[in-house]
Chain A
Amino acid sequence: MSGTKSGINWIGLYTIVRREVSRMMRVPIQAFIAPWISALLFIFIFGFVVGGRISSIGGVPYIRFVLPGILMMNIVNASFLQSSTAIYFSRFLRFIEETLVSPMSYSEMIAGNLAVVVVRSTVTAIGILLMGLAFGATTVQSIPAFLFWVVAVSMIFGLMGIVIGLWSKSFEQLNVLTVFFITPLSMVGGVFNTVEMLPPWLRWLAWANPFFYFINGIRHSMIGFSETPAAVGYGFTTILAVVMFLWVLRLYSRGYGLRE
């Protein structure tokens, strides 16, 4: 058998990507059309309806301030949804056993799932970015920085989705993180306002909220506006991604939610 150069089963890893892309393309409306339409509506509402009545924030029109946050929320949702449903359904229907009985390593299984997460999030993000550029609702200050935030955040939430996919025993549990963690924290993470706009006693909540660094980072890459030194966001996000990867690798090695 070929495809295992350098000890890595590249063909196996690519097969997971092919399988998940095939699964994703069975629901293109859910995967891509829905977030793009949602972003288009935000551009319309904040750009033309509400935006005209709100003075600029940080020296930029309101829609330019808000759109990076909207984009980041879509990256988070796309990446979490992709990996959590992939893992949960493969456990629920037991076809995860196909990979368990194969000579694939745990890191190859995780990397295959993460690659699809990154593809889905990047396509979603680029679609929203292009819409924003077409309507004059945003700019791009740094493409490498923009791509860093898309890839790094999608990896973090892809890994979080894997954890929830392994842990869930029902469809209900699959939504727990989204309802009680992702949605509330992203809403108060600086999508619609700066930290300065919050009452002083509430500002610590923003600084302690990881979503703040993600939204602030991608906003900086798009419109050049930032409320923290760039290194803080890059450092925090990179460390979080590595810690999450090691955690998921540990869960796979222990067979958590995978093996009987």
Chain B
Amino acid sequence: MPTPALCIRNLRKVYRRGNVAVDNLSLTINEGDFFGFLGPNGAGKSTTIHCVTGIAEPTSGTIEIFGVDAVKNYREARRLVGLCTQEFNVDPFATPRQIVDWMGGYFGMARAERKTRIDFLMDRFELGPHEKKAFRELSGGLKRRVVLARALVNDPRLLILDEPTAGVDVELRRILWRYLQEINGDGRTILLTSHYLEEVERLCRDVAIVNNGRIVRQGTKDEIAGAPGGLENAYLAATGAAADHIAGQ
């Protein structure tokens, strides 16, 4: 049996004030999958991602990335991952080229390797004309492109995208979709969280729905979205929002 790209077992995350963000969550994503991770705000999606990438420390449970323990052997595990965060966690005075270049540097990429990769990403996300402006001077869409380029600089085997198209225009959304489908076609594994269900339906093959820190529904997209009402109804039913939704209508 091939090693999964991501294997989370019994993950639990309790914050200092006792708030249980993730509760006994288990998840397996196979290599090459395009996996949709859905759930309402505060369901535990970002916390799970933060535990996988080292931004948060799991309270208990295990996380393996391509068979490498993400806590005990964190250096090797992190080489395999690229993260596009939901928030713009960058130095706002730095330029897009600096931001992407520094990230490549943290991953140990040599100067020539970084330059080739950054030139490609600047071109791919049409950041060339803006690469010497300060990040804080960029529009929301351009900022999103920069953090995407940063996530891709190390050409990760597992790409984690936490609401990458939130607040971006249609043009970028389509550029991004095309690119994600292309790199997924090349064998890259992608974990995507999004509030846009049509985006998940269009891109993902497998889906998990999380609510109150637990996975409440998991399966292939076709299984989940195949029922009457499609993915939206399945999502609302799984998160317990169906009654409210119907009442609202």
| Residues of A participating in the B interface, judged by any CB pair closer than 8 Å | 1-4, 9-12, 14-16, 18-19, 22-23, 26, 90, 93-95, 97-105, 255, 259-260
Contact B92 A93 (CB under 8 A): yes
User: Please, how many angstroms separate the alpha-carbon atoms of A105 and B78 in the complex?
Assistant: 11
A1 and B154 in contact, given A18-B102, A93-B89, A99-B106 (Cβ under 8 angstroms): yes
User: Please, how many angstroms separate the alpha-carbon atoms of A109 and B233 in the complex?
Assistant: 47
Name the residue on B nearest A8 (C-beta): B108
Interface magnitude class on chain B: 35 or more
Contact A12 B106 (CB under 8 A): yes
A3 and B78 in contact, given A95-B91, A97-B85 (Cβ under 8 angstroms): no
Name the residue on A nearest B15 (C-beta): A260
Asked if B222 is at the interface (CB within 8 A of a chain A CB), the reply is: no
Contact A103 B108 (CB under 8 A): yes
Least distance between B94 CB and chain A CB atoms (Å): 7
Contact A19 B85 (CB under 8 A): no
The 13 sampled A-B contact pairs (Cβ below 8 Å) are A3-B110, A11-B108, A12-B107, A14-B105, A15-B102, A94-B89, A98-B103, A101-B78, A103-B76, A103-B78, A103-B106, A260-B15, A260-B57
Contact B108 A97 (CB under 8 A): no
Best-buried of B47, B50, B106 by chain A (most CB within 10 Å): B106
A18 and B57 in contact, given A3-B110, A94-B87, A105-B75 (Cβ under 8 angstroms): no
Contact B105 A11 (CB under 8 A): yes
Least distance between A169 CB and chain B CB atoms (Å): 13
User: For residue B103, which residues in chain A have a CB less than 8 angstroms away from its CB?
Assistant: 98, 102
A259 and B57 in contact, given A1-B108, A4-B108 (Cβ under 8 angstroms): yes
| Residues of B participating in the A interface, judged by any CB pair closer than 8 Å | 15, 47, 50, 53-57, 74-76, 78-79, 81, 83, 85, 87, 89-94, 98, 102-103, 105-110, 113, 150, 154
User: Please, how many angstroms separate the alpha-carbon atoms of A34 and B237 in the complex?
Assistant: 63
User: For residue A259, which residues in chain B have a CB less than 8 angstroms away from its CB?
Assistant: 54-57
Contact B98 A22 (CB under 8 A): yes
Contact A12 B91 (CB under 8 A): no
User: Please, how many angstroms separate the alpha-carbon atoms of A90 and B109 in the complex?
Assistant: 22
A23: which of B54, B85, B91 is its contact (CB, 8 Å)? B91
A103 and B75 in contact, given A3-B110, A19-B91 (Cβ under 8 angstroms): yes
Name the residue on B nearest A90 (C-beta): B91
Known: A98-B106, A100-B55. 14 other contacts (CB 8 A): A2-B110, A12-B108, A15-B105, A18-B105, A94-B87, A94-B89, A98-B90, A98-B150, A100-B53, A101-B53, A101-B83, A103-B79, A105-B75, A260-B55
User: Please, how many angstroms separate the alpha-carbon atoms of A170 and B55 in the complex?
Assistant: 21
User: For residue A98, which residues in chain B have a CB less than 8 angstroms away from its CB?
Assistant: 89-90, 102-103, 106, 150
User: For residue B154, which residues in chain A have a CB less than 8 angstroms away from its CB?
Assistant: 1
Best-buried of A4, A23, A95, A102 by chain B (most CB within 10 Å): A102
User: Please, how many angstroms separate the alpha-carbon atoms of A3 and B105 in the complex?
Assistant: 9
Least distance between A249 CB and chain B CB atoms (Å): 15
User: Please, how many angstroms separate the alpha-carbon atoms of A3 and B192 in the complex?
Assistant: 31
B93: which of A4, A14, A26, A255 is its contact (CB, 8 Å)? A26
